[in-house]
Amino acid sequence: MNRLRKSADSALCFLCAALSLAACARSPRASLPAGGAADSLAASRRGEALAGAGAEARSLALELAGESYEGRLAGSAGGTRAGDLLAARLRAAGLAVEAAEFPFEQARFPAAPRLELIPAASAAAATTAAPPAAATTAAPPAAASAGPAERSTKAAQAAEAPPASAGGGEALVFRRDFRETVRGGYPGGEVAGPLVLAGSPRDVFPAGAVLVLPGAAYAASDDDLYRARGAIGLLIEALENGPAVKPLSTALGPRGARPGGAAFVKFLLAPEAWKRAAALAADKGGARLSNPVEFRAAKGRNIIAGWNGDGGAFDPALVLVAHYDHVGADPDGQRFPGGLDNASGAALAVVLAERFARARHPRDLAFILTDAEETDLAGASAAAARPPFALGDARVVNLDMLGAPSRIDLSVYSNGDARSLALAKELVQLLGAEGLGARSEYPVPTVDHAPFAFAGAAAATICEFERAVYHTKADFAERLDPAELDAVAAALWRLSGAR
């Protein structure tokens, strides 16, 4: 049965042709041993076929997390180099490989966001709404009352040496005290106004205020309400995932931007910095916020590879997916290595493809290394929207963050549909048999399996979500545990039907 899409474009037809050639060139199909008596033979073959796979995956992950790939931001030169490397490895292993480009919107920060807390002395001068003349005349009387408090605050903070700001306030340190937020898709810009401690959009606050919000009281769904009531900025207390984390998902994307509308800036603050902002709010201080985020049209590139194991029409029953992109670098050039997220999964998928090919796997297998996962699953969505083969009967297993040294349980995420849940259950059992604790969690539609499940496949993600390093500059591939990667590889080997 030929299940290749009739509407496949020329690039995808190239994949079909290449797969047919690969089928002609390969040796006769391997025969499968049958029955329970073959189990120990299968285990020893598996052990032989996968020997050293975890260490090899770790070493490929080390390369991907290295300097020359610049944090693998989708659409960047470093991201392109990472895709090229993986495609070359898959080609060298004898798989048919194609690159499929897709457009998406990328959030970029041409400069670091800035946040300055301004004592009451200068707060009036900083307020956006204040006309320039009023600003200069308002400053002297306020300075007399707020001066000593400002000096003692400065003395207390001198040990940490926060940068001084031109306006006499305290410039907080990006990624130590605060971070950008992208989710919500607001366009950023620069705003300044009085700080007001608030707990909900129903609180009373003046138009033009920068609201200081306790983390527990904040819901992203309230953004529109805060904005409609005249708030120009939000300083939100970070309860988890602190300032070191770089977010990239644009969620609503640039669609959240109101063309011609006023700027609106949201930052997440570390608890200590947030307390200083809250104290300043009580003291009638202000803040100046600058978030230079911009959304640009970019091109992502999925790497799609096929192994035609049965020599007939390409009809993969198993598709391994892993995103190879990460969140890039900060404006100062310091990269986020993305070792666990997701050099680990991409490397393991490629090493498995190599081992399957070397063992002349008797079934059709596909590998999709997705790009721009970090931006709203853009690559997986593009691949699922125009798959190079029918997805209906395929089982899609996405690998995202594997081999964390912390030995937390693995999560097996799915959308929660019956077929995906059955796949998740099987994965939990297979991982358990390899000594890995795992549990099925659903619905989790925010990982790369989701678009494939929405397109009709049974799909699940295996993930070891280690919050401590997630999207930080400490996500080093050196930390990856080859033994755990070996165990995941063995579970996937069994799922593939190889014996």
Q: Which residues bind Zn ion (CB under 5 A)?
A: 341
* Strand ranges across the sheet with 286-291: 170-171, 114-118, 286-291, 189-197, 210-213, 233-237, 265-269, 178-180
Closest distance between Zn ion and the C-beta of residue 248, in Å?
Answer: 7
- Tokens standing for 18? 């290449």
Closest distance between Zn ion and the C-beta of residue 65, in Å?
Answer: 13
Nearer to Zn ion, 122 or 375 (CB): 375
Nearer to Zn ion, 277 or 369 (CB): 369
Helix 53-64 vs helix 482-495: crossing angle, to nearest 10: 110
Q: Which residues pair with 368 in a beta bridge?
A: 304, 321
- Start-to-end Cα distance in the chain: 24
Q: 72 vs 77, 82, 83, 230, 289, CA distance in Å?
A: 8, 7, 9, 38, 28
- Tokens standing for 308? 């035609």
Nearer to Zn ion, 267 or 324 (CB): 324
Nearer to Zn ion, 255 or 467 (CB): 467
Closest distance between Zn ion and the C-beta of residue 401, in Å?
Answer: 8
- Tokens standing for 20? 């047919």
Nearer to Zn ion, 201 or 328 (CB): 328
Closest distance between Zn ion and the C-beta of residue 447, in Å?
Answer: 9
Closest distance between Zn ion and the C-beta of residue 298, in Å?
Answer: 17
**What is d(CA 120, CA 284) in angstroms, rounded to the nearest whole number?**
5
Nearer to Zn ion, 322 or 382 (CB): 322
Does residue 168 contact residue 101 with C-beta atoms inside 8 Å?
no
Nearer to Zn ion, 22 or 447 (CB): 447
| Nearest position to Zn ion, beta carbon | 341
Nearer to Zn ion, 290 or 302 (CB): 302
* AA identity, residue 265: V
Closest distance between Zn ion and the C-beta of residue 372, in Å?
Answer: 11
Closest distance between Zn ion and the C-beta of residue 158, in Å?
Answer: 37
* AA identity, residue 481: D
Does residue 379 contact residue 370 with C-beta atoms inside 8 Å?
yes
DSSP structure string for 196-237: EE-SSTTS---TT-EEEE-GGG--GGGHHHHHHTT--EEEEE
Nearer to Zn ion, 315 or 341 (CB): 341
Closest distance between Zn ion and the C-beta of residue 39, in Å?
Answer: 38
Closest distance between Zn ion and the C-beta of residue 281, in Å?
Answer: 33
**What is d(CA 158, CA 436) in angstroms, rounded to the nearest whole number?**
48
**What is d(CA 26, CA 308) in angstroms, rounded to the nearest whole number?**
9
